[in-house]
Structure 1
Amino acid sequence: MAKVLIVYASRTGDTEKIAQLIAEGIRISGVEASVVPVKDIKKDTDLQGYDAYVFGSPTYHGEMLDKIKTLLFMAEKAGLKGKVGGAFGAFGWSGEAPDRIYGTMKNIFGMEMVGDPLRLKNADLGGGISMAQEYGKQIAQKLG
């Protein structure tokens, strides 16, 4: 069975909730999903053994959280080229973090990205629950 690793940083819990909903969509599609807070990823070998990777961070003052930046530097050494990828995050005003994560995964790591990054104000507004679950289903579908 294919396995997906979802790693997130969250300040208020919104990005964590989105991560859990993406995982639900993946699992509904019959694919295994692990949701891990970024603080639990200590070295690049912690990223090994997965078929797809989804990274998420809220946007705070126009940026992703520093722990996700550190994760991306670590992930650059993890050999993710050709793996399926996705990016997501919660935001209050601008929402740049998921775009920057997505661009790094696609252009630097050479990953096969799903659609566009998922940006939600939070999971409970404007159909956010179904949008996050659908994003998970798209990731599972791209795995084949």
Structure 2
Amino acid sequence: MKKGLVVYTTRTKDTEKIANLVAEGMRFGGMEAKVLNVKDVKNEQDLDGYDAYAFGAPTYHGEMLQAMKTFLFLAEKADLAGKIGGAFGAFGWSGESPDRIFDTMKNIFKMDMVSQSLRLKNAGLGGGVAMAQDYGRDMAKKAG
């Protein structure tokens, strides 16, 4: 069975909720899925053994949280080239973080990305639950 890893950072728990919904969608798509806070990833070996990766962070004042920036430098040391990737995050008035994560995964890590990043104001608003689950399903489908 294919395995997915969802890594997130959050300030108000909105991005954590999205992370869990993306993982749920991966499971609906027939993939095992593990969810980790960036604080629980200690080294690049913690990223070994997965077929798909979704990284998420909220946007605050037009910026990605520092914990995700630091994590991305760590993830750059892992061999993620060719792996399935996706990026997500919650936002208030702007939503740069998911796109910046997505671009890093695609252009720096050379990952095989899903169509685009997932940006939600809140998982519970405007069909956010279904959108996050569908994002995870799309990742599972792409992983085969």
TM-score grouping bracket, smaller chain normalisation = over 0.9
**Percent identity among equivalent residues?**
67
Equivalence for 1:74:
74
In structure 2, distance between residues paired with 1:63 and 1:43 = 24
**TM-score normalised by length of structure 1:** 0.99
Q: Which runs of 5+ in 1 are unaligned?
A: none
Equivalence for 1:102:
102
1:119 aligns with 2:100: no
Per the alignment, in what secondary structure is the counterpart of residue 130 of structure 1? helix
Per the alignment, in what secondary structure is the counterpart of residue 94 of structure 1? coil
In structure 1, distance between residues paired with 2:30 and 2:82 = 21
Per the alignment, in what secondary structure is the counterpart of residue 103 of structure 1? helix
> What one-letter code is carried by the residue in structure 2 that aligns with 1:25?
G
Structure 1 vs Structure 2 CA RMSD: 0.5
What is the CA-CA distance between 1:71 and the residue it aligns to? 0.8
**TM-score normalised by length of structure 2:** 0.99
Q: Which runs of 5+ in 2 are unaligned?
A: none
Moved over 2 A (4+): none
Equivalence for 1:36:
36
> What one-letter code is carried by the residue in structure 2 that aligns with 1:120?
L
> What one-letter code is carried by the residue in structure 1 that aligns with 2:108?
I
Equivalence for 1:10:
10
In structure 1, distance between residues paired with 2:71 and 2:123 = 24
Equivalence for 1:20:
20
Equivalence for 1:86:
86
In structure 2, distance between residues paired with 1:66 and 1:77 = 18
In structure 1, distance between residues paired with 2:25 and 2:32 = 10
What is the CA-CA distance between 1:63 and the residue it aligns to? 1.2
In structure 2, distance between residues paired with 1:46 and 1:64 = 22
Equivalence for 2:61:
61
Q: Deviations over 1:91-124 (max 9, x none)?
A: 0010000000000000000000001000000001
In structure 1, distance between residues paired with 2:62 and 2:94 = 7
> What one-letter code is carried by the residue in structure 1 that aligns with 2:76?
E
